[in-house]
């Protein structure tokens, strides 16, 4: 999800290769109850609620606990008014937490100061209040992003990245945990699982940030880690993909081990590979390919059954030559067909009415046409809207058009 460029979004359609252990990922486990494709009378109608850089919520840092809570409940109420049934709340935006985590500090986006207790429990409140409204609450975590700057000294004292500077790499103006270190992978999983164990969240949700998006002229400096752990792989890119596979497969297994019915979903950038790179890829010419650039073999995760659902970010209009929504949709439908993995499409509501976007995005019916098209593909079980601010503000009426055309009544989500 890249408008803070997701969130800051990359809509560009080139990339460099970057990339935990020298072992291969474990085999897939048993399916979780309730996983699968569309069910009669059910549909995934979600919205992302982003907290990084106060994108959607809270509206600014430093609000009182009462004001923060009121704004959060307002977003949940908007979801109900728009006849949605899932809210995907970002609860770990930058190696921090929107709950009282024993592993990581409170997020600065609440109080303006990292580590400062906001005086309430946002995640606990969100789960309770979402369920009271008939909404699922999916907890959205970013595994490896540490900070939107490169100065470890700006992190709160006691931050894991300061206690373990060997875990951290600067790249593209940000700090990241090194995905090649087994201890990093274990730590970030444990930090996320704390929320799974504490709360009745309906799903763990990850977005498109694994290895970082390529930045021209910069190198992700994991040479030392590759030298230690990459010897069994033909090249660095294969090793990096295995690191990401391990993160996904291990997290999948550990969620199951909690004994809860928590689902596991991932929302990747919408292009696995271009057909010009791989004959099994999509008919696109995207400048970013998750397999090659983010070292994320999203198709493999589906085939192995490591995830319960996938929400590819198809943030392009119908007819865009480089990445046509109408060509990507059937590709994803074919990938999930028969796997039991749910397919829900990520939609770029934030582009509707943006004067910087091409003409199709100035038409309030563009997104409604996406849903018209999606309903011709049997594996598509719904859509997720980026993001909450636009779901509410709806500057050109694109969301209202979707609701009028496609959401006549509230329905239950697929599980």
Minimum mean pLDDT range among 31-35, 42-46, 397-401: 31-35
pLDDT interval class at 41 (50, 70, 90): confident
pLDDT interval class at 415 (50, 70, 90): confident
Residue 36 in this model has a pLDDT that exceeds 80: no
Cα distances (Å, whole numbers) of residue 389 to 120, 252, 337, 363: 23, 31, 33, 19
Cα distances (Å, whole numbers) of residue 315 to 108, 357, 374, 384: 29, 11, 14, 11
**Looking at the domain assignment, is residue 375 inside a domain?**
yes
Residue 23 in this model has a pLDDT that exceeds 90: no
- Sign of the alpha-carbon dihedral angle for 314, 316, 322, 324: positive
Residue 244 in this model has a pLDDT that exceeds 70: yes
**Looking at the domain assignment, is residue 4 inside a domain?**
no
Find out whether 313 and 270 touch, Cβ atoms under 8 Å.
yes
**Looking at the domain assignment, is residue 33 inside a domain?**
no
**Looking at the domain assignment, is residue 204 inside a domain?**
yes
Instruction: Count the residues in the chain.
Output: 415
Indicate the SS3 state at residue 187. helix
Indicate the SS3 state at residue 361. helix
**Looking at the domain assignment, is residue 183 inside a domain?**
yes
Question: What distance, in Å, lies between the first and last C-alpha atoms of the chain?
Answer: 24
Instruction: Report the distance separating Cα 127 and Cα 307, nearest Å.
Output: 22
169 forms bridges with which residues in the sheet?
Answer: 176
342 forms bridges with which residues in the sheet?
Answer: 309
**Looking at the domain assignment, is residue 31 inside a domain?**
no
| Bond from prior residue into 58 cis (ω within 30 degrees of 0) | yes
176 forms bridges with which residues in the sheet?
Answer: 145, 169
Instruction: Report the distance separating Cα 282 and Cα 272, nearest Å.
Output: 7
Helical packing angle, 366-374 and 325-336, nearest 10°: 30
Residue 18 in this model has a pLDDT that exceeds 90: no
**Looking at the domain assignment, is residue 392 inside a domain?**
yes
Q: What is the CATH number of the domain that holds 156?
A: 3.20.20.80
Average pLDDT over residues 222-235: 97
List, for residues 124-170, the tens digit of each pLDDT value.
Answer: 999 999 999 999 999 999 999 999 999 999 999 999 999 999 999 99
| Structural domain containing residue 399 | 44-406
Query: Could you give the count of Cα atoms lying within 13 Å of 348 in the half-sphere of its Cβ?
Result: 27
Whether the full predicted model's pTM is greater than 0.85, yes or no, is yes
**80 — phi, psi (to 5°)?**
-65, -45
Using DSSP bridges, classify how beta strands 145-147 and 174-177 pair: parallel, antiparallel or unpaired: antiparallel
Residue 252 in this model has a pLDDT that exceeds 60: yes
Average pLDDT over residues 81-104: 98
**Looking at the domain assignment, is residue 17 inside a domain?**
no
Q: In what order do the strands lie in the sheet with 145-147?
A: 145-147, 174-177, 168-171
pLDDT of the residue at 38: 61
Instruction: Report the distance separating Cα 48 and Cα 388, nearest Å.
Output: 6
Number of structural domains (the chain) is: 1
């Amino acid at each position: 999800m890249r408008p803070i460029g997701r969130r800051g979004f990359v809509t560009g359609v080139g990339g460099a290769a970057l990339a935990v252990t020298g072992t291969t990922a474990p085999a897939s486990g048993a399916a979780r109850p309730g996983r699968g494709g569309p069910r009669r009378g059910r549909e995934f109608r979600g919205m992302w609620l982003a907290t990084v850089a106060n994108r959607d919520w809270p509206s600014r840092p430093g609000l009182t606990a009462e004001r923060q809570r009121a704004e959060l409940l307002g977003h949940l109420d908007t979801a109900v008014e728009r006849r949605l049934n899932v809210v995907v709340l970002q609860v770990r935006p930058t190696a921090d937490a929107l709950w009282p985590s024993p592993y990581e500090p409170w997020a600065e986006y609440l109080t303006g100061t990292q580590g400062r207790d906001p005086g309430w429990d946002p995640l606990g409140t969100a789960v309770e209040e979402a369920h009271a409204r008939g909404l699922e609450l999916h907890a959205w975590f970013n595994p490896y992003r540490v900070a939107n700057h490169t100065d470890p000294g700006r992190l709160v004292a006691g931050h894991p990245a300061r206690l373990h500077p060997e875990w951290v790499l600067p790249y593209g103006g940000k700090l990241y945990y090194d995905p090649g270190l087994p201890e990093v992978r274990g730590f970030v999983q444990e930090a996320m699982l704390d929320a799974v164990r504490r709360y009745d969240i309906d799903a763990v949700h990850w977005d498109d940030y694994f290895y970082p998006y390529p930045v021209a002229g910069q190198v992700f400096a994991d040479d030392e880690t590759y030298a230690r752990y990459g010897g069994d792989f033909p090249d660095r890119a294969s090793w990096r993909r295995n690191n990401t596979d391990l993160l996904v497969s291990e997290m999948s297994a550990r969620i199951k081990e909690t004994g809860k019915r928590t689902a596991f979903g991932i929302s990747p950038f919408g292009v696995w590979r271009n057909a010009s790179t791989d004959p099994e890829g999509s008919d696109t010419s995207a400048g970013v390919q998750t397999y090659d650039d983010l070292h994320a073999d999203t198709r493999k995760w589906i085939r192995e059954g490591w995830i319960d659902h996938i929400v590819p970010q198809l943030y392009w209009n119908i007819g865009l030559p480089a990445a046509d929504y109408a060509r990507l949709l059937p590709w994803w439908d074919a990938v999930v067909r028969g796997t039991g993995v749910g397919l829900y499409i990520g939609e770029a509501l934030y582009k509707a009415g943006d004067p910087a976007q091409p003409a199709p995005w100035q038409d309030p019916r563009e997104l409604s046409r996406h849903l018209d098209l999606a309903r011709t593909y049997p594996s598509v079980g719904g859509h997720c809207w980026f993001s909450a601010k636009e779901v509410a503000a709806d500057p050109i009426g694109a969301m209202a058009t979707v609701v009028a055309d496609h959401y006549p009544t509230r329905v239950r989500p697929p599980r």
